[in-house]
Structures are given as C-alpha cells and as structure tokens.
Amino acid sequence: MNSLQIIILQHNTVWHNPVANQQRFEIQLNELSDSTKLVILPEMWTSGFTMAPERVAETMDGTSIQWMKEMAKKHHIAICGSLAIQEEKYFYNRFVFVHPNGRLDTYDKAHPYTPSGEEKVYRAGKQIALIQYAGFRIRPLVCYDLRFPVFARNTDDYDLLICVANWPAARIQAWNALLRARAIENMAYCVGVNRTGKDNNQLTYSGGSAAYNALGDELIYMDEKQTASTFKIELYTLRQTRKKLPFLKDQDDFTLT
C-alpha cells in the first residue's frame, strides 16, 4: 500500500528576507519525524508576494534552491514551494519540487494575478507539470491557478493536486471552496498551503492551509496560528474510490482553442 506522509509548514513570511525565512523553516524541519516524506512551503516562501522581483529573485543555482537541496538530502524528504526566479531578463513565480536525491521538477505559474499587476513583472508559464514521487503523480498549481478548473482538469491521471499560495484573509472562503471543489471534480487528493500574518502590501493572511480527499472530505484544516500540520494520503484508498465511483471516465472530452 503506497502512502505518503506530508507536512505543511504555514508561516508569517518575512518580507524580502530569504535567509530569515530559511532559518524559520529550518527550525521546524529539524523536528521532523522519520516518517515524513514530503514538506510543502507556501507561495513565494523566500520573500512574500512581492511585485519587486529584482530585489529578491534568485537563479536556479541560488542560495534558496541550494538550501532546499540541503534540507532534502539531510532529512531524506522531498520539499517544495514557489519563489521568484530570474532567467536572463525574465522573472518567474516558479514552483520548485526538490527530490531527496537533489533532482528538481519545476512549474512556472501560468495565471499571474492581474489585480496585483503580477503579469507585468512575472512571465506566465506555458506548460503544466506532472511530478512523480513515491508512487504518486503530482500536479502543482500556484495560487491564482486554483480559480481555473479547466486548467486543473485531471486529464493526465494525477493523484495529488498541490496549490501553494499567498491567499488573503478577505477571500479565504473562496480558497476553502475552491480547494474542496478541485478535489471533488478531479477525484484526487488536493492540498492547499497558505501563509499567515501581514505583508508589506498591507494584506492580511489567515492561513487556512488544508487537505481534502477525492470525495471532498477534510483531512486537515489549519487555523491562522498553526505553523505545521501532518497527514497521510494513501494511493490504494484513492484507487478504490475511483473504482467504486468512476466519475473521471464520464467527463466531457473537449479541446480549448
């Protein structure tokens, strides 16, 4: 029976300070149990949701990626989250998944958040990603991606949808509803990881990181004070649910143009 022990780290991100954020997360990583296999950090975990990437963006050889590799190797885990990355003249809000052996999978946020002007400073990704880890097929999303059900549609038989975010408290009910909906309509586990606190844009975040199974049942829900939560997902249980309720086989076949 394939199972995956996951821990969510939900924090008040320190604005424009990758080193301080690394230190904050590392304290909790050093307390992991041996059963933990995947650690998920929020969107832009190194800096907060900044529209000034020129101040904080790193390369794929930068200190934050190196830190993620070191943590993955030290704790024998996979670790993921998004951060501002620069390639040539472009900036990306990039989801990075680091395997225990240091191998990387990446996904660039496809839907920049236009109300904040994100599309003006970050280049949108053009490809979806499918990450294979510990027997699970994982599809990553970044924040605003969650609002677009066709984009998240389960046409590639993924088992786990991960959405990392900086989702403000003012719209937390939408976050709650969309996470559950993505799990139900895609017959997959869905995990959303948010942050807490207030950023330099004067936006308040109330956490609400959560995980749901393929039927929309809540596995965990974190309040604004919690900083870590652990849960387990099981591939056998998911497959049995899909076998009993084969909803994905009946979904409409269409192509966007």
Which CATH number covers residue 144? Answer: 3.60.110.10
Q: Residues with Cβ < 8 Å from 75, sequence gap 6 or more? A: 29, 32, 36, 39
- Does residue 20 belong to any structural domain of this protein? yes
- Does residue 138 belong to any structural domain of this protein? yes
What percent of the chain is predicted at pLDDT more than 90? 96
- Does residue 14 belong to any structural domain of this protein? yes
Question: Tens of pLDDT along 135-179?
Answer: 999 999 999 999 999 999 999 999 999 999 999 999 999 999 999
Question: Tens of pLDDT along 119-147?
Answer: 999 999 999 999 999 999 999 999 999 99
Strand (E) or helix (H) holding 104? strand 104-108
Residue 226: pLDDT band with limits 50, 70, 90: confident
257 has pLDDT over 70? no
- Does residue 255 belong to any structural domain of this protein? no
- What percent helix, strand, coil does the chain show, rounded to 5? 30, 30, 40
- Does residue 16 belong to any structural domain of this protein? yes
- Does residue 100 belong to any structural domain of this protein? yes
Q: How many domains does the chain have?
A: 1
Give residue 54's domain range: 3-246
Q: Is 196 exposed, middle or buried (0-12, 13-18, 19+ CB in 10 A)?
A: buried
- Does residue 65 belong to any structural domain of this protein? yes
Residue 1: pLDDT band with limits 50, 70, 90: low
- Does residue 253 belong to any structural domain of this protein? no
State the catalytic residues. Answer: 43, 109, 143
